[in-house]
Amino acid sequence: MLDLTDGSIGKWPSVHASLEFSGVLTPEDLARRGRFCRELCRLFDCLQEGFDRLEVAEKARCGLDGVAAEVFLQIDLEKRKIVLDKLFKYADMDFHLFTQLLEILQRHFPKCDLAVPALQGYELAREIRRFLGVPEVECIYLKGDTEERMLMGDALRGASFEGILEDTQKHYEERGGVEKKRQELGPGREFSMYWRGKEGEEEVLWMQVRIALSR
């Protein structure tokens, strides 16, 4: 595992990131990894510059550790799979983190799938659909009024990525809209998703999705 933002380096104190390559890497893969890491480091340069330009009050939203963004990736070139374990921006920076990272991934690993094992945020889900299309949902973890449950396999019938986004939009529209919720939570807070099935409305605590980067 490569910790590209090790505290001893101190180059990007506002960024917390880790990158793990697994499987046997060919010489071509090693060269590609080097190019990818260099471009990822340039992305972190831009993030740090954006953080440095923030007002003191906005920097304070990042907490005592001063971390404005987190990026955790696992890349398996043998299985052609990239796992996005975490992608989060805590400060209101004029920087579109997902699209910038996606462009880099597509440039270097166009034949891979992007997997998000614990997708929670409504806004990230919308961005995945906007820039890649509708992903395959592999499992969903729900919270109802009295219990939590997981849907996978045949139990996923009737639940879809598009349906969850539509139900989530309806949920917030009935409560004043997404913008009102964003103002209530402030930057760096995830919007829950919701699904309206046979059990009524349930909160989507997380769902596991997968989609090809080449879309």
Question: What is the reported pLDDT for 7?
Answer: 46
Could you tell me the two tokens for 75? 């890349």
**Residue 176 in tokens:** 């004043």
Residues 176-188: tens digit of each pLDDT? 888 888 777 766 6
The answer, yes or no, to whether residue 100 has pLDDT greater than 80, is yes
- CB–CB of 111/214 below 8 Å? yes
Residue-wise pLDDT tens digits, 114-126: 999 999 989 899 9
Per-domain residue ranges of the chain: 1-111, 119-215
Q: Residue 62 pLDDT more than 70? A: yes
**Positive or negative torsion for Cα 136, 139, 143, 147:** positive
What value does the mean pLDDT take over residues 60-82? 88
Looking at residue 72, its pLDDT comes to: 94
How many distinct helices (H) and strands (E) make up the chain? 6, 8
212, 187, 43: which is closest to 131 by C-alpha?
212
pTM metric for this prediction: 0.87
- The tens digit of pLDDT for each residue in 6-28 reads 544 578 999 999 999 988 888 99
Span 45-74, average pLDDT: 88
Judge whether residue 192 has pLDDT over 80. yes
Going from the C-alpha of 104 to that of each of 35, 41, 176, 201, the distances in angstroms are: 10, 11, 36, 37
For 10, other C-beta atoms within 10 Å of its C-beta total 8
Angle at the Cα of 73 (from 99 to 9), degrees rounded to 5? 95
**What's the burial of 126, exposed, middle or buried (CB within 10 Å: 0-12/13-18/19+)?**
middle
Mean pLDDT (the chain) is 89
Task: Provide CB contacts within 8 A for 56, sequence distance 6+.
Answer: none
